[in-house]
Structure formats: C-alpha cells, structure tokens
Structure 1
Amino acid sequence: MNETQFDFGMVGLGVMGRNLLLNMADNDFAVIGLDLDPQKAAALETEAAAGKPVKGTTSAEEFVASLRKPRALMLLVPAGNPVDAVIASLLPLLEPGDIVVDGGNSYFPDTDRRVKTLADAGIHFFGMGISGGEKGARFGPSMMPGGNREAYERLRPIFEACAAKVNGEPCVSYLGNGSAGNYVKMVHNGIEYGIMQLLAEAYDLLKRGAGFSDDELEATFQGWNQTELQSFLVEITGEILAKKDDVTGQRLVSVISDRARSKGTGKWTSQNAMDLQVPIPTIDMAVLMRDMSKYKEERVEAAKLLPNNSLQAASVDKQQLAEQLRNAFYFAMITAYAQGMAQLRMASQAYNYGLELQEVAKIWRGGCIIRAVCLEDFRQAYEKNADLPNLLLDPKIGGDLLNRLGDMRTVLKTAIDKGIPMPGFMASLSYFDGYRSETLPTNLIQAQRDYFGAHTYERIDQEGIFHTQW
C-alpha cells in the first residue's frame, strides 16, 4: 500500500478503538491504527478479515503520512489529559484541513477549548459520543458527532457505513457546532443513569417488597421486553437476572456488591442542568443514589438501629403488582427521557449548538445503550413539532402517561407501605405533577426571600418589581 491509501486512522487500539476500526474495514474502508503497544498494533491486523486493507503501527510519523488528505483520524483514549497529550504529539505532523475526532467521553468544555486551539492551526476538531459498548463498536454503534458541518462531509460516508441501522437509516448524524456531540452523549449517559436506577428500584420492590423468586424476577423482566418497554436496558436486565454464578450456583446478581461506581458523566449532566436551570430530578436522583450506595458500612449500622419492620406488611397480589409496576416503569422511563431532551433543547440555545431533537431521537433508536422502541414515538413528536418544549406536551406521549398515572401512584403507595426506597419513581411523579401544575407554591418562597433579604418579588395583578416592609 502506498502512503496515501488509508481512508481513516485510529489512535488507541484498545477494545473499542480496534473494534470500530475493524467495523470500518468490513465496510470496505482502508484503515490504519496507532498504538504504542506493539501487541495491540499487531492484534489489529491479526483480527482483520482476510483481504481487508488494515494496518497497525507504533509510529506516529508512519500513521499520519499514510492517511489520504485531508486526513481523518480518531482518538479513543481516556478522557482528560491523555487526549491533550495525544493531540500535542500529533499536531506537528498534521496540516490545515485535517480532521481530528475525539471519540471518548470528554467533558464538553474541554471539547470547546480543543476546537478553538486546533482551529488556530487550521485543523478541524470533532467531539463525538459513541454508544453501544465493544459489541456496538464492532457491529454498529450509535454515534453523535459535533463540529464543523463542512468538514463532516469527509467523515460522513465512513460513519454512516459503520453505524447501527434502524429501518435502513444510520444511527449517526451531524448534530451541531462545537461540543454538541459530546454534550448529547453526556445527556445520553444521564438518561442511562436514570433508567438504570428505575430498573433497580423495580427489581427491589418485586424482590424485597413482594417476595418474587429468582425465576419470577427473570420471567417478569424478560416479559417486559416483549411489550412497549422493549429496550436494551430492559433486555439485559432479564438476561442478568437469569445468569447463575459458577462458584455458588446462586443467581450472579445476588452475590454482586451493592456499592455502585460511576465515571462522572451522570454527575456532569446534573451539574450542567443546574447551571441551565433545567429540572431533571429523575437523573439527579440516580446520581445521588449511586452516592448513597457507597456508604455501605453506615447503611449496615443503620439497618440494625433503624430496622424496617414494614416489609412484613400485608402480602400483595404478585401478578397485579407486576402489571402495575410495568405501567409505572413506563411512566417513569418516559419522564427520564423527557427531562434529558428538555435539557438538550435548553443547552442548544445556550451554547448555539443548533440541535435538531428529531435527529437525536432518530440516532438513539439503535446501537446505543438507551435504545428503545419509544424513541420512534419521540422522533415522530419532534417531526410534528420541531420546537416542542417538552415531550410531555405531545398529545400521544402525554396521554400515554395519563393512562398509567393511577398505577404509578398505586405502586408508590405499595413501596411506601413496605419501606422500599423508590426515589427515582417518586422524582418522576413529582416532575410530572409539578410540570402540569398551573400554580406552584413558589409565591411563598418569593415572599420569604423578600422578608429576610429584600430580594423583591413580582405580582400577578401588576407589572413591575415590588418590595414589602414585612
């Protein structure tokens, strides 16, 4: 191969980088990968299908020189300083017009900084969220690129070929300016946090609150995935509950520690939503409950001193509860998506992204962790009204929630009676009830602020700003 033959390059040949590059090769693009580890560079060529133009190298000079111009290359390295270090090492070898894509979970202000820095050198920088894990990377992920629209045309044929497909449509689309891609992936991860927390709470209510057996739990979640709840996260929950531990013979989930870990993207979503003054309580609660899980020793002590005697409350009709919970979970899941989409709408205005939420819903329908059949409903809602402020205002989606509202309340009453914490479900219901309240009690808060701090208030019967000598 001559030195200008490769269509795309990848820096970082770990599982994700290698699989995505092999995916591109399977779609007949010539690809080259760079990694300082000779074994990873060699593994790329070993795993490539016979006859495919794939090369691995440990030489940055060879890597850059082998890419056709304008060069297009992606970094799949840990977020933070490693990204800046790789950029610094490659920058002297690049030329104006070249394109660098960061495929990691970078914090969006870092992406904005890198866009500006590389633009000064005439190089286009893209932040692109990738969802779907290692299997998705190999056979079709959802990809969320943001950057220069014209430069994206160099990337588009490659990304569309290797992305997941739904109804023949690729799960990738140009999203917007600057850090739009990383921002959309951040909110994707926040929604992911929310749905995972809701599934955990549903599992807890059925197991501890209703005494479901392992077989009943497995059957319930697998059954849910055959309904309007069909989604990747519900699907894998059923598979997880079916898995037996090779050591103990018990269900594996029962021997896994309840201390949850996180990489920060959920926290970033919550923090930035507060900056934008967008309420996302379901996602916030998911972040907080992961924090709560870390206080294991204190929780063990509290369980002794503050025993939950409510678990012995009257037994429940298992079949009825499972059906009510299915409707309640759908209700809560939809509100989690609605909160995330509302945040994207506000962020697009604040950061000049130019997001089209129909495109976001479309590329989330396949490949990504939060893919679900309900995303087609969201796509259609935004197709009808691109300026829809909140998914709850779509007549079909809002009507679906109203039809399930009674079961949502019944499930939460059961949880309260049993002493089972369901903060994600409660936050979802409070969000719904708050959003549809024409009047909220914050008039009292405004009066309180004026009383102790002379912060002033507005009136409903007169224009202007007022203060009272209380």
Structure 2
Amino acid sequence: MEKAEIGLIGLGTMGSNLALNIAEKGHRIAVFNRTVSRVDEFKANAGELADRIVPCHSLAELAEAIRPPRPVIIMVLAGKPVDEQIAALRGELEANDILIDAGNANFHDTVRRFRELEGSGLTFIGMGVSGGEEGARHGPSIMVGGTEESWKRVEGVLTAISAKFKGEPCAAWLGPDGAGHFVKTIHNGIEYADMQMIAEIYGILRDGLSMGAKEIAPVFGTWNKGRLNSYLIEITAKVLAADDAKTGKPVVDVILDRAGQKGTGKWSVIEAQQLGIPATAIEAAVAARVLSSLKDERQAAEKAYGALAVEKIDAPRDALLKDLELALFAGKIAAYAQGFAVMAGASNEFGWKLPMPTIAKIWRAGCIIRSEMLDTMAEAFSSGGAEKNLLMAPAFVTLMKGAHPSLRRIVARAAEAGLPVPALSSALGYFDAYRQGRGTSNLIQGQRDFFGAHGFERIGEQGAFHGPWNSAD
C-alpha cells in the first residue's frame, strides 16, 4: 500500500477539517483518534476524498502507514493531553520523525517540549493555525516554529493547504522552537483588541444613536467595502443581520452579554508585560472580557448606582458615522502596532529573528484578523520603515494623521454619553503617549527618588542624581 505523506491524531472539528483539507490538496494522510470508532466513521463520511485517507486503529499502525521521516500532526486539547500523546508516540516513532503540535499551545510549553526531545532523534514543531473550522477545511494561516530542516519536510503539505493571498501561500517558517506558537498567541491578542473595539463601536451605534441591529448591519457592510475591509468587519455585518429562529428577533439581541476566552489573549498580555512592551489596547480588551463574565456583579452594581443614564449623541448622522469608521480604523492600527512591537521584543529576547514582513504577509488571508491593511503593513516592514514601531512607518503616519482626530472625538463623545469604550480609549492613550516628546514621568522619577532614593537622570547630563528632598522636608 502507498505510504501516507503525513499523519494526524485527533479527529475533532479542527482535526477533521484539517485532514480533509490535506486530502483534498492531493496528499495521502493517515489518521488516528483515541476513540477508534471515530476513525472509520471519518473515512466513511469523507466521500471522494476517502481514497487518500488511511484509517489507523493504533499508534503503531499510524507509524507504519507514514513515509519516513514521519510528520505527525497532533490536534488534541492543549496542555497535558499533548504531553501524554507525545509520550505515547515516542515508543512508535524513529529518528528524524517530526511531532507537530497544531493546537493553541502556550509557547513556553512548546519550548519545553522541543528541549525535552533533543537527543531523542525526534524533532518537534509548534504550529499556530488560525482561521477556525472554515480555515482548517479550506485554507488557514499557518505559523511554524521549529528547525528549518523539519519545516522543509512538511513545507509542501502546509503551503498546499494554507490560504492564498494573490496566489502566495499564507504559511511560513518563522523561527526555532516556540516562535510559531508565540506569533499565534499575539495574533490572538490583536484579535481580542479588534473584536472589542468593534463591539464598542456597535455599543455607540446601539445605545448612543438608538439604532437596531438591522440598521447597524449595513453600516458595517459598507465599511467592509473600504479601509476597514476585513474578515471581522464582514462577519460583524452578518451576525447583526441574522434572525433568531426561535423568537424572530435579531440573534444578537438574544445573546447574553458574557464573552468567553480560552487563554491566548491573557497569555499575550502576560508576555507583553514580561517583555516590558506596552500593549494597552490588547490589555483593555482582555480585561473587558473578564468584566463581561461578571454578569451578576454588573447587574448588582447597576441596581446600586442606578441604570447608566446614557445621553443620546446629538450629531449629524453622516458625519458621526464617518468619525466612527475612522476611530475604529485608528484603533485597529494602534492594536496592530502594539502586537508587532511585542513580537519584535520577543524576537530580541529569545533570539528568534522573527520575519515581520512575512508575518504580515501570512496574515493577509485565512486567519481571523485578515484585513486589507495587512498588505500595507507587509510593505512597511519590508521597506524598513517600521523597525521601531508600525506607527513610525511613513504610510501609517499619514493614515494616523487622518484618523486619530476621529478617534479622539469618538472617545470624548462616548465618555460624555456614559458609553464604555475601554479598548478605543486605551488605543488613544497609547498613541498620545507614544507621540509626546516630553511626558510626565519626570514627576514619577522625582517621587521615586523622594520615597526610595532611586535617583533620576538630568536633562543634558550623564549619571544618576538625587533631589534636595531632605532639606525640602
């Protein structure tokens, strides 16, 4: 029997779709699942792709079915299940075989696993996959971390199944050990910020302008045809336009306002803090999700303080919609700038040499944060104009100059109206602080020296100095 090109363990939603994608692109794939009956069921339902699927009922059978060196994709729950699967596979695989964790792993675990396998003859790839079920089935964005040699072994399969942007694969090797999973983590952090800012704009339209979901949907639909063109704006319009079969109401109006999260947003914030890189819009978005989960507390607080007296925003509709569009645009730029800055910091810290232009390019299609703007970002990084920060790239200086006044007006109007916009506010605060040549931290340094003798720098002088606090006291 012809050997499979690659193997896959875990036939849940993502694993099944990824396996079908691999088969559809002409590659023979061996599959295994802990619940063995699922293997035969999967092949039986694969239709015309069944001939390229090799069902395996044990790990030994899986290993035998794949052409050496054997790449095996692991699509199980992150954490301990991955370690257990690796331990089970070690007894079946041979030198130069490749274990590929394609789940949402913490990059620290990926680095640990990579090191634990050193000297065993096996190698490890941490592979970030973005695009959800649809992406897994028809073309995700793929972010690979591991040895370049192991990447070369699977490059043909991964580039074939990835999304394409104008024919260019949205899959790439980004660096050693945890590089791929780190980039996926920051991708998700940006995703949190993007989604939160969209929700804040929706809140202004709903509560500040008294617009219903069916009125708001075409606003996002129109924005998706312009500078905000992106997957998240596109699906926002569709979510707002959908009706609930049970009640006949817009679906969004019957959804409880309590957002879930799986940890990657929190990880991105933790890593930003550890690296000392400000990522305030991402932090605000993660905090907003946590706050949304406190539904009972929020309802109790509303009773204690009284319902928020939202003041309707009185402004010409067309001008206000234009400001809202530009405010969201400026906020998105700031969130992307923060995410790329965190990745640059991690690249220096861990010696990864992350290719920023490549990252922007492989996010242009397939992934959840794909947007028209990423093409401009790829160009900015390629030209060297964004080495310090995306906000310093000439193209984005021009874009932000045109958009930040709208962000300022919207944040101010929202505050006056009593509408919470934490991510947009944080994006504006970050932008204003970043572009302020002389800030207010001189006072903080004075305070630190006063109570802790930490010292401070003087303008135009070298060395550490102390203030005359004792005599002043």
- What TM-score comes out, normalization by structure 2 length? 0.97
Q: Does structure 2 conserve the Cα–Cα contact (< 8 Å) formed by 1:210 and 1:316?
A: no
1:191 is aligned to 190
1:31 is aligned to 29
2:249 is aligned to 250
Q: Does structure 2 conserve the Cα–Cα contact (< 8 Å) formed by 1:308 and 1:419?
A: no
Instruction: Tell me the distance in 1 between the aligned counterparts of 2:371 and 2:35.
Output: 38
Q: Does structure 1 conserve the Cα–Cα contact (< 8 Å) formed by 2:131 and 2:368?
A: yes
Q: Does structure 1 conserve the Cα–Cα contact (< 8 Å) formed by 2:163 and 2:365?
A: yes
Aligned AA (1:186): T
Aligned AA (2:157): I
Q: Secondary structure at the match of 2:248?
A: coil
Q: 1:137 to 1:314 in 2, by over 3 A?
A: closer
Task: Identify which of 20, 44, 47 aligns with 1:46.
Answer: 44
Q: Does structure 2 conserve the Cα–Cα contact (< 8 Å) formed by 1:356 and 1:386?
A: no
Instruction: Tell me the distance in 1 between the aligned counterparts of 2:252 and 2:386.
Output: 43
Structure 2 segments unaligned to the other structure (5+ residues):
none
Q: Secondary structure at the match of 2:174?
A: coil
Q: Secondary structure at the match of 1:173?
A: strand
Instruction: Tell me the distance in 1 between the aligned counterparts of 2:127 and 2:223.
Output: 32
Kindly, what percent of the aligned residue pairs are identical? 39
1:233 is aligned to 232
1:408 is aligned to 407
* 1:356 has 2:355 as partner: yes
Note the C-alpha offset of 1:66.
Answer: 1.1
Q: Does structure 2 conserve the Cα–Cα contact (< 8 Å) formed by 1:104 and 1:128?
A: yes
2:161 is aligned to 162
Instruction: Tell me the distance in 2 between the aligned counterparts of 1:187 and 1:314.
Output: 35
Note the C-alpha offset of 1:412.
Answer: 1.5
Structure 1 segments unaligned to the other structure (5+ residues):
none
Note the C-alpha offset of 1:146.
Answer: 0.5
Instruction: Tell me the distance in 2 between the aligned counterparts of 1:75 and 1:39.
Output: 18
Note the C-alpha offset of 1:164.
Answer: 0.4
Spell out, residue by residue over 1:98-129, the C-alpha distance to the aligned partner (whole angstroms, 9 max, x if none): 11110001101100000011122021101000
Q: Secondary structure at the match of 1:119?
A: coil
Aligned AA (2:114): V
Instruction: Tell me the distance in 2 between the aligned counterparts of 1:73 and 1:331.
Output: 42
Spell out, residue by residue over 1:341-398, the C-alpha distance to the aligned partner (whole angstroms, 9 max, x if none): 0111110010111111000000000000000000000000011117611110011111
* 1:128 has 2:138 as partner: no
Q: 1:325 to 1:116 in 2, by over 3 A?
A: same
Instruction: Tell me the distance in 1 between the aligned counterparts of 2:412 and 2:312.
Output: 12
Task: Identify which of 17, 42, 57 aligns with 1:19.
Answer: 17
Instruction: Tell me the distance in 2 between the aligned counterparts of 1:295 and 1:66.
Output: 50
Q: Does structure 1 conserve the Cα–Cα contact (< 8 Å) formed by 2:74 and 2:102?
A: yes
Instruction: Tell me the distance in 1 between the aligned counterparts of 2:308 and 2:137.
Output: 49
Aligned AA (1:44): F
Note the C-alpha offset of 1:308.
Answer: 5.1
Which runs of at least 4 in structure 1 moved beyond 6 Å after TM superposition? Answer: none
Q: Does structure 2 conserve the Cα–Cα contact (< 8 Å) formed by 1:14 and 1:40?
A: no
Note the C-alpha offset of 1:318.
Answer: 2.6
Q: Does structure 2 conserve the Cα–Cα contact (< 8 Å) formed by 1:324 and 1:407?
A: yes
Aligned AA (1:301): A
Note the C-alpha offset of 1:208.
Answer: 0.5
* 1:443 has 2:442 as partner: yes
- What TM-score comes out, normalization by structure 1 length? 0.97
Q: Secondary structure at the match of 1:155?
A: helix
Aligned AA (1:249): G
Aligned AA (1:7): E
Note the C-alpha offset of 1:317.
Answer: 2.7
Instruction: Tell me the distance in 2 between the aligned counterparts of 1:350 and 1:203.
Output: 38
Q: 1:270 to 1:313 in 2, by over 3 A?
A: same
User: What is the count of residue pairs matched by the alignment?
Assistant: 468
Instruction: Tell me the distance in 1 between the aligned counterparts of 2:189 and 2:224.
Output: 22
Spell out, residue by residue over 1:402-445, the C-alpha distance to the aligned partner (whole angstroms, 9 max, x if none): 11122111111211121000111110111111111111111111
Instruction: Tell me the distance in 1 between the aligned counterparts of 2:79 and 2:164.
Output: 31
* 1:140 has 2:139 as partner: yes
Q: Does structure 1 conserve the Cα–Cα contact (< 8 Å) formed by 2:386 and 2:392?
A: no
Instruction: Tell me the distance in 1 between the aligned counterparts of 2:213 and 2:275.
Output: 43
Note the C-alpha offset of 1:313.
Answer: 4.7
Q: 1:176 to 1:314 in 2, by over 3 A?
A: closer
Note the C-alpha offset of 1:92.
Answer: 1.1
1:327 is aligned to 326
298-307 or 343-352, which deviates more: 298-307
* 1:271 has 2:270 as partner: yes
Instruction: Tell me the distance in 2 between the aligned counterparts of 1:136 and 1:433.
Output: 37
Note the C-alpha offset of 1:263.
Answer: 0.6
Note the C-alpha offset of 1:197.
Answer: 0.3
Q: 1:371 to 1:313 in 2, by over 3 A?
A: closer
Instruction: Tell me the distance in 2 between the aligned counterparts of 1:312 and 1:334.
Output: 29
1:428 is aligned to 427
2:340 is aligned to 341
Instruction: Tell me the distance in 1 between the aligned counterparts of 2:241 and 2:389.
Output: 37
Instruction: Tell me the distance in 2 between the aligned counterparts of 1:334 and 1:300.
Output: 34
Instruction: Tell me the distance in 2 between the aligned counterparts of 1:148 and 1:320.
Output: 52
1:89 is aligned to 88
Q: 1:120 to 1:236 in 2, by over 3 A?
A: same
Spell out, residue by residue over 1:26-70, the C-alpha distance to the aligned partner (whole angstroms, 9 max, x if none): 111110111021332013312334263212222111001111111
Note the C-alpha offset of 1:87.
Answer: 0.2
Measured on the aligned residues, the alpha-carbon RMSD in Å equals 1.3
1:208 is aligned to 207
